[in-house]
């Protein structure tokens, strides 16, 4: 038997209507037939917090933590790509907002920061750099008041350390997206500024809690304001109401139908509304209002529900807790 030339065999197969290169992948399998779509756009945000020691990096980090960012302090720059890679992709639950504080405390590692940032940018990772600074005199005063050495002063003075740090930070300062001078800022001013810099976070809603309680069990420790409703007649002394609570309609009607009771509850909420907005201005997003009666079962429960509903009607988000229900 003679072997045919491969080219001659291919020509004969084509003449016979045969495909010389039949597909080796089976058809009809959707995962193979369909091309994958474009990946979902990343929802992740990365912030690099850096700058002069004593300029407020730690306070900036705390402000971001209060806004539900995942914050890592004093991270060696070489570990940044791995940390970014652990963020949750797409819309999955997990870490989507990462803030990393990077500074000269990482010593020799800090010199690798520029190269690390370049590699992140090349990999398509979007990040912003916030650089904090303050005047030399202010930094010296802050260090002297805390009685701590500058991380780079060594055997020299605080001022020597500040100037040595400036030389290391200068390339990073030129890359910053936001430079914040904290010379004349209080810690609250800085927190407000950070909220303004982080898009969409300046108007964080107030988290308001209205809690009922019984005075005989003690005041709630975390109450910002306490209302005493023991001036109202007590349903406890009405036999058919004693076993019920302020959540039951019969008890609520008994309490709120007393002259001025409902008006007092709603007026109290209206009186406090401007104060609650002031709490937000002063960066206090969690407020607890406590409403108390003798046992925390009847009057305080009914009044707390009315007060909470009044706040809801005026646009506040409110949760209600009845601390002492079931204790009798």
Where does the pLDDT of residue 27 fall: very low under 50, low under 70, confident under 90, or very high at 90 and above? low
| Predicted local confidence at residue 49, as pLDDT | 92
Is residue 9 in some structural domain?
Answer: no
DSSP three-state, residue 15: helix
> What mean pLDDT is predicted for residues 55-67?
89
Residue with tokens 């409403």, as numbered in its chain: 291
CB 74 within 8 A of CB 106: yes
Same domain, 182 and 293: no
Per-residue model confidence as pLDDT tens digits over 150-201: 888 888 898 998 998 888 888 888 888 888 999 988 888 888 888 878 855 4
Residue 18 lies in a domain: no
Q: Over 60: is that where the pLDDT of 247 sits?
A: yes
CA distance linking residue 151 with residue 161, whole number of Å: 7
pTM, rounded to two decimals: 0.58
- Whether residue 154 is found in the same domain as residue 215: no
How far apart are alpha carbons 115 and 171 in whole angstroms? 11
Three-class secondary structure of residue 210 per DSSP: strand
For all residues of the chain together, what is the average pLDDT?
82
**34-38, 249-253, 259-263, 278-282: lowest mean pLDDT where?**
34-38
> CA geometry: angle at 198 spanning 196 and 202, to 5°?
45
35 pLDDT higher than 70: no
CA torsion 79→80→85→90, rounded to 10°?
160
**Residue 95, domain CATH:** 3.40.50.300
User: How many angstroms separate the CA atoms of 117 and 217, rounded?
Assistant: 56
> Are 272 and 298 part of one and the same domain?
yes
Tell whether 50 and 192 lie within a shared domain.
Answer: yes
- The answer to whether position 38 is within a domain reads no
Could you give the C-alpha distances from 55 to 147, 180, 190, in angstroms and in order? 16, 9, 10
- 104 Cβ neighbours under 8 A, 6+ residues apart: 53, 110, 151, 152, 165, 168, 169
The SS3 of residue 64 is helix
Between 77 and 108, the more confident residue is 77
Element (H, E) at 303: helix 299-313
Residue that has been written with the tokens 């001078």 in this structure:
181
pLDDT confidence bin for 19, thresholds 50/70/90: low
Q: Are residues 78 and 182 in the same domain?
A: yes
Q: Is 15 inside any structural domain? A: no
- Within this chain, do residues 263 and 162 fall inside the same structural domain, yes or no? no
Given 174, 197, 220, the domain boundary residue is 197
E strands of the chain, at which residues?
45-51, 70-73, 97-101, 128-133, 178-181, 207-214, 225-228, 286-293, 318-322
Same domain, 174 and 56: yes
Confidence of residue 144 (pLDDT cuts 50, 70, 90): confident
Chosen domain end from 197, 229, 253: 197
Are 191 and 63 within one domain? yes
Q: Are 178 and 215 in the same domain?
A: no
Please check whether residue 218 lies inside any domain of the structure: yes
Q: Are 255 and 302 in contact (CB under 8 A)?
A: yes
| Number of domains the chain is built from | 2
Query: Which structural domain, as residue segments, surrounds residue 156?
Result: 45-197
Please give the structure tokens belonging to residue 79: 């570990």
| Claim to verify: residue 192 and residue 211 sit in the same structural domain | no
Q: Do 183 and 94 belong together in one domain?
A: yes
Please say which residue of 164, 197, 230 terminates a domain: 197
What is the number of other CB atoms lying within 10 angstroms of the CB of residue 211?
23
Nearest CA to 52 out of 202, 176, 156 is that of 176
Q: Are residues 311 and 184 in the same domain?
A: no
Highest mean pLDDT, choosing among 23-32, 153-162, 210-219:
210-219
> 154 φ, ψ to 5°?
55, -125
Q: What is the pLDDT of residue 45?
A: 85
Helix, strand or coil, per DSSP, at residue 31: helix
- Whether 10 is covered by a domain: the verdict is no
- Is residue 245 in some structural domain? yes
pLDDT category of residue 120 using cuts at 50, 70 and 90: confident
Task: Write down the pLDDT at residue 121.
Answer: 87
Report which of residues 228 and 85 the model is more confident about. Answer: 228
Q: What integer is the mean pLDDT of 43-48?
A: 83
**Per-residue confidence band for 39, with pLDDT thresholds at 50, 70 and 90:** very low
In a domain, 5, yes or no: no
Q: What percent of the chain has pLDDT over 70?
A: 81
- List, as one string, the DSSP characters of 87-124: SPPTT-SS--EEEEE--GGGGGGGGGHHHHHHHHHHTT
Confidence of residue 241 (pLDDT cuts 50, 70, 90): very high
């Amino acid at each position: 038997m003679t072997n045919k030339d491969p080219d001659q065999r291919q020509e004969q197969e084509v003449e016979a209507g045969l495909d010389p290169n039949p597909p080796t992948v089976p058809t009809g399998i959707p995962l193979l037939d369909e091309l994958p779509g474009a990946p979902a756009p990343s929802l992740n945000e990365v912030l690099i917090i850096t700058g002069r020691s004593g300029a407020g990096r730690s306070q900036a980090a705390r402000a971001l933590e209060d806004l539900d960012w995942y914050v890592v302090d004093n991270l060696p720059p070489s570990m940044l790509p791995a940390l970014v890679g652990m963020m949750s992709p797409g819309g999955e639950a997990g870490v989507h907002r990462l803030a990393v504080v990077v500074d000269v405390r990482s010593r020799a590692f800090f010199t690798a920061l520029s190269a690390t940032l370049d590699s992140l940018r090349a990999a398509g990772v979007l990040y912003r750099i916030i650089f904090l600074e303050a005047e030399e005199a202010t930094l010296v005063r802050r260090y002297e008041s805390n009685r701590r050495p500058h991380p780079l002063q060594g055997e020299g003075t605080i001022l020597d350390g500040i100037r040595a740090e400036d030389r290391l930070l200068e390339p990073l300062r030129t890359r910053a997206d936001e430079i914040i001078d904290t010379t004349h800022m209080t810690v609250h001013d800085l927190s407000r500024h950070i909220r303004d810099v982080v898009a969409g976070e300046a108007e964080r809603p107030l988290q308001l809690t209205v809690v009922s309680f019984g005075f005989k069990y003690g005041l709630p420790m975390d109450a910002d304001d306490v209302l005493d409703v023991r001036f109202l007649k007590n349903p406890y002394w009405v036999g058919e109401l004693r076993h019920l609570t302020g959540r039951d309609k019969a008890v609520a009607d008994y309490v709120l139908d007393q002259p001025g009771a409902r008006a007092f509850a709603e007026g109290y909420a209206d009186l406090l509304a401007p104060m609650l907005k002031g709490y937000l201005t002063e960066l206090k997003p969690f407020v607890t209002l406590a409403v108390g009666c003798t046992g925390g079962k009847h009057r305080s429960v009914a009044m707390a529900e009315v007060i909470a509903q009044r706040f809801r009607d005026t646009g506040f988000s409110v949760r209600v807790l009845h601390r002492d229900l079931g204790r009798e």
